Every structure is written in structure tokens, then in C-alpha cells.
Amino acid sequence: MALYAIGDLHLSLGSDKPMDVFGGRWAGYVDKLSAGFSGLGPEDTTVLCGDLSWGMSLEGAKEDFLFIDRLPGRKIIVKGNHDYWWSTASKAYKFFEANGMGSMEILNNNCLLYGELALCGTRGWFYEEERSAEHDKKIMLREILRLEASLRAAGEREKIVFLHYPPKYMGYECREILELFEKYAVRECFYGHIHGKGCAAAFEGTLRGTKYRLVSADHVGFTPVKIRD
């Protein structure tokens, strides 16, 4: 049994937006994902850090979710900024059940357990006050509330956080998220969203007691990153 993380699958099996058009690492990426997951077993857990499907609705994302469901093991979903299929967790669970998809769980306003570990998280958001519109501030505040709800739900357990957006990137730091990490003694954070040349500027290392790792699919060779045995 092991715990893994990967983000940004960007599947498009039921729509016409395949990432292969970008070439390079993305060429043949669906086959690469299948190969990357081939080393996992049914007892393993993988957290998917957002941007899973280009589908504009749950029905439009159906083929992508069928693909994800067929991947080995338990899958835990975090919403990304391009997950337009998302409406509510309850609607997603009803859709999964109606289509015989039983391997996926959703991390949203809650925490999920892996043994004694608490898996916490939310989408996150980029927000810099001098650059962003008022609605962006409201989105960020909602994400902060969701993250704290997730961390509170974990109680005294050891916590690992999974986000879509990085809380630190180049000169930007999300002060509110960093403060929550300190308040709740978060020691590890895994995130996605960053691709291509941007990966060179991604922060990976330890900041204020929390270790950060970028796990977007193209950055990790379309193979889930092992976090724990």
C-alpha cells in the first residue's frame, strides 16, 4: 500500500482539446499516463491535484472519468481551475455511482484519511491585491475558508495538503495559506498548475516548516509521485 500524487492530467477523451497538440512531453500523454500508473496496485491511493478533464460538464467528461476510474487503486480528486465539469461534490458522486465508477473520492470542504494521515486540500487561487479584481478576492477568501475547514476536520492527525495552485510562485506568496500551514503544522504540500518552462520557476523545497513539491503531470513524467509507503 502506498500514497501518490499527480496533477493536471488534462484528459480530453470525450472532447476535442488533446494536449498532444503541444508536442514535446505532451505527445502521447494518455499512453504515458497509463504506463505511469501501471506500477500501482489496487491497494494504492493517488491524489489528483486538479485539471483532470477538459469536459465542460460531467457528461462531457464521462470518458475521462472512465479512464481515471480504470487506473489502479483509490483516486482522490482536488478541483483545478480548468475543471469546468465541476458543480458540486454531491452531483459528482451521483454521476460516478450512476456510471459504475467506484474508485474516486472528492477532497472539498473535508479531509480524507490514508491510515493515520489526514489528506487535506482545496483548489487554492492566485491573488495579488494590486492586480486582481474584486471577484478574485472573493474567490480567494472562499478557498481559504475551504482549506481551513479541511484542516480543522483533520483534528490532531498529521496533515498533508494538496492544492491545485501553488501558494508560492516566483515573487508571489499567498500569505493567508502560508499562515494556515503554520497554524495547523502542515509539513508537506503538493500542487500542480505549473507547466513547461514555468516549472523551472516553481518553488520546490522547504519554506516556514512546510516542504513543497510540484506534481503536474508533464513535470513528473506522467508518473505519480510516491509520498508514503
CATH of the domain at 45: 3.60.21.10
Is it the case that residue 3 has pLDDT exceeding 70? yes
pTM summary value: 0.94
- Number of structural domains found in the chain: 1
Q: Give me the residue label for grid cell 516566483.
A: 170
The span from the CA of 49 to the CA of 61, in Å, is: 17
Residues of the domain holding 42: 3-228
Average pLDDT over residues 54-63: 96
DSSP 19: G
Residue 131: the pLDDT is: 56
Q: Of 31-45, 132-146, 178-192, 212-226, which gets the smallest average pLDDT? A: 132-146
Confidence of residue 127 (pLDDT cuts 50, 70, 90): low
Residue 115: the pLDDT is: 96
Cell of 199: 516549472
Q: How many CB atoms lie within 10 A of CB 200?
A: 8
Average pLDDT over residues 149-167: 97
Whether the CB-CB separation of 201 and 213 falls below 8 Å is answered with: no
Residue 126: the pLDDT is: 76
Q: Comparing C-alpha atoms, which of 124, 37, 53, 123 is closest to residue 95?
A: 53
